Structure 1
């Protein structure tokens, strides 16, 4: 199920509250003391999800603030700052943390900043400016087809109220200054751990030079520029309640094109007691993972039937096995 990015929370009803990260897990450690946010002043709740087969992270951000500060055109704005490291390579990725200090500042900016981990400085809300500021040359990662965002709120600057921000982003193992042509998306798969954290920067005075709080999930404020301080988030598999009782799925690979040898892999789910393959050439097999040799070049339609105590299922792929 892919959420619609429209600022509405209905798509997220299936995501239980046990997956929410609330204000009670955020702290501010800007000095020697650890500070906790006051929910009467600021209260936030975050859910992060993913969709199998897509390299996207979906985020629902809900926040109450007693003073929303967003009237200025610069970076003085209430902020939700999200940092992601898709392959958990770790290490610094923002200029002030660069490991080689004698490198020219702008050279380091182009070759280093935001390349192996990405920081999204998200305006809450964004009025008269783009929804996020990216810490690096990779400004394209915050736009379609790599990201999308939508807000819902009914307050003015200086008011209190509740904001809903819904967005998705694409994490990158490599996002260089040359643009998306050489970028490498982070591949998201079940049970993979990614590096992720966020902070909420709360302004309460349009005239102030700095924010009143940097409420941080990782417990290390430096997470905004050093991915070693991000937390491991596991990409959870689909919960059992959404699974079919029995579901036929399969894949194939051509082992030898010259001899037309194809390996078939059963990827079905459920309690399965029998498999029947129709290879599209008049031959069949009852093996779970058969290897089949075709006699002539053609486009073959292959069907897998499965059966178990809870029922039957089949999956056909029409003219997908192509042999020359």
Structure 2
């Protein structure tokens, strides 16, 4: 019987290896699929940028599919088997504005016990991880890949929070700064890099609803010296890395929290950006778009020859383009390159046509050559 068993499963080493590889790959993909979630960042129209005042009215235009609620979180401390809205109920919306390197957040939460009377880290907390360029990898000093640099002040100042940022946002902050930036760059939590406002009417130990509204600036590089910082460029349809956790305390006399509600499936997301999740910077929703709108930009590609490249960036379906370069010449190309014969400052006009109508955009003296 043993011989038959062996004969049936008498794979060559190569076959066994291939089989094992398939099984491991399948399990890896299964695990990945469980974590393969993508979220959306709502684009606010330029004339409807939310005011940071703790009032959620500005956010009512955000569709429900942008909301991240308790159904997306899990308590990886194991203390709470499932979410109980009578104990804690949280929703988060994230927004952006095209042309601004800012991320806007609306955090709304009901808690049956708000713990925020102590001056240190023992505070109900919204812990936010930002990795806007999706660089991934560990970013706190004790996770440094070189063990000899682990937990050193050198690593803290040169490494901790540099390529991704961790904000311990106190909910609410009482007689202390609104957040602890876990790293050597506390300047990123102040204007002109961030702004915040709260609204609540409860006292420590009471229940109630909190509204937290804020914006932050994401950075590709943010060290101790702000003059060397590099902001992350936010662009339409780009993915950025975000993650958060809600640390819930229910007794001021207990040192341990009552739950660590994590958006990621990996507890160590707080110090490893590879465990953040993709959030897509979405285009404007259709109700905020014009059916057709002329938009364009330009770049001087050769100043000595006075060559200028014009780029059509119009919205809507466009069938024809008509450029007036301001020097008596025109073009019907979508993205023309034009050579000016004379130095000067020019009024350039783009006229477009499509099934939904026409549109025109002129720019006065933006285009200047010498």
Give the total of aligned pairs: 322
Aligned mate of 2:233, from 177, 184, 187: 187
> Quick check: which one's helix share is greater?
2
CA–CA distance in structure 1, aligned partners of residues 331 and 369 of structure 2:
19
SS across alignment from 1:35: coil
User: Is 1:273–2:319 an aligned residue pair?
Assistant: yes
Q: State whether structure 2 residue 339 is matched by structure 1 residue 293.
A: yes
Report the aligned-residue RMSD: 1.3
Q: What is the CA–CA distance in structure 2 between the aligned matches of 1:160 and 1:221, rounded to whole Å? A: 27
1:187-266 aligned at under 5 Å gives the runs 187-266=233-312
In structure 2, the residue matched to 1:37 is 83
Equivalent position SS for 1:46: strand
CA distance in 1, matches of 2:193, 2:65: 28
Superposed, which structure 2 residues align to 1:1-324 within 5 Å? 1-30=48-77, 35-103=81-149, 105-177=152-224, 179-324=225-370
Provide the residue aligned with 2:21 in structure 1. Answer: none
Which 4+ runs in 1 deviate beyond 3 A? Answer: none
Q: Distance in 2 between matches of 1:65 and 1:201?
A: 11
Give, in whole Å, the separation in 2 of the partners of 1:36 and 1:180: 42
Q: Which runs of 5+ in 1 are unaligned?
A: none
Aligned to 2:38: none
Cα–Cα, structure 1 residues 34 and 100, in superposed 2: closer, same or farther, change >3 Å?
farther
Answer with 1 or 2: which has the greater Rg. Answer: 2
Q: CA deviation at 1:34?
A: 7.8
Q: Deviations for 1:117-151, whole angstroms, at most 9, x for unmatched residues? A: 00000000011111000000110011100011100
Report the Cα distance in structure 1 between the residues aligned to 2:77 and 2:274, rounded to whole angstroms: 18
Q: What TM-score do the two structures reach when normalised by structure 1?
A: 0.97
Superposition deviation, residue 26 in structure 1: 0.8
Tell me the distance in 2 between the aligned counterparts of 1:222 and 1:287: 53
Q: Is residue 89–residue 116 contact of structure 1 (8 Å, CA) maintained in 2? A: yes
**TM-score, normalised by the number of residues in structure 2:** 0.85
Quote how far apart the aligned CAs of 1:23 are. 0.8
Structure 1: distance between partners of 2:228 and 2:183:
16
Report the CA distance between 1:74 and its aligned residue. Answer: 1.2
In the TM superposition, what whole-angstrom CA distance separates every residue of 1:209-252 from its partner, at most 9, and x where no partner exists? Answer: 12111000012110001111111111111112211011000111
